[in-house]
Amino acid sequence: MKTDTKSKNKNAQSALADINAQIEALNQKRIGLAEPLKIRYVELRTELTDMEAEIRQLDPVWKPEPTKPKAETKITEILMAHGAPMAVEGIIQAVGNVFTPWKVKNTLKKKSTGAKAVFTFADGKYAVKATT
């Protein structure tokens, strides 16, 4: 009975070793598939850097748009597209997974008061502050 358990154990170990070898081979293949993308990324980044330098020569005060979206900008876009004031829950739903509900609520709270207010709050709904 002990030899039977040992042979099953060896079979399981060899099967596990084979599976691990296959996983490693697939990981290496996946890494190899990423190489052309990495090369293209470097090319695009170089092109963008060169283009940015060229634009800055023509317009020294120009700043590129950030690649990471700002909550304030996204919320403003949503409110402008909606065309009417929206409740916090509606804004959170419209934002989707771009920002956490906490980030949306915090941004609305901070940007609806003070001298730098971007949003107005009335009747439990937020709207974009009129810029006149």
Contact yes or no for 117/72 (Cβ under 8 A): no
- pLDDT tens digits for 90-112? 999 999 888 999 999 999 999 88
Query: What does the block give as tokens for 59?
Result: 């317009």
Query: What does the block give as tokens for 115?
Result: 């001298």
Residue 132 pLDDT greater than 70, yes or no: no
Mean pLDDT of the chain: 89
Entry pTM:
0.53
Distance separating alpha carbons of residues 116 and 54, to the nearest angstrom:
33
Mean pLDDT of 39-52: 95
Give pLDDT, residue 36.
Answer: 93
Give pLDDT, residue 8.
Answer: 76
Q: Tally Cβ neighbours within 10 Å of residue 75.
A: 25
Give pLDDT, residue 97.
Answer: 86
